[in-house]
Amino acid sequence: MDLIDGMMANHGTLRGSLIFLGALLDRPCGCGWDDLRVIDQDSLARELNGFMDAFKRHEALEAEYVESVLKTRQADRELTETVSTGHRAVEDLARIFGAVASSGDGEHVHRLRTVLERLTDEVETHLAFEERVVFPLLRARLSHAELLELGRRALSH
């Protein structure tokens, strides 16, 4: 698997984790503040921790194998800033989601859904930027053999 295929597989894992978080907050009845869903807070905390760990591992790989390539050209440096800003925004929102989740009693999850929607938007914006702008640029900059070698190193972590 080359580096970009590996990064795309990571993106799939992150998207799946957000879908699972959404399923844990599914709405069986009511709406808004009328919503009396009681959530399993342990499962929610476990999945959120899993998402944050996976995101940080992915971020570290991108810092080592993606941003390092982009930084070699002045014209591409702005892209690394955008990628880093996206990582910070996602981590900030994930922390806010965790704080809201742990401050509640498992009831009235409307506010949690609202924060999860924002987190999902932020993650999707970031992943789409990488997939539409950053990864195609990497494919243009590096040979297939180089991408395979970087993938071998990155994915053996």
Q: In whole angstroms, how close is the CB of 65 to Fe ion at the nearest point?
A: 11
- Please state whether 30 falls in left (phi above 0), alpha (psi between -120 and 50) or beta: left
71: how many CB neighbours lie within 10 A of its CB?
A: 12
**Total number of residues binding Fe ion (CB under 5 A)?**
2
- Please state whether 39 falls in left (phi above 0), alpha (psi between -120 and 50) or beta: beta
Interface characters, 102-141, with Fe ion (x: CB under 5 A): ----------------------------x-----------
Dist CA 29 CA 107 (whole Å) = 13
Interface characters, 48-87, with Fe ion (x: CB under 5 A): --------------x-------------------------
Residues in contact with Fe ion by CB under 5 A are 62, 130
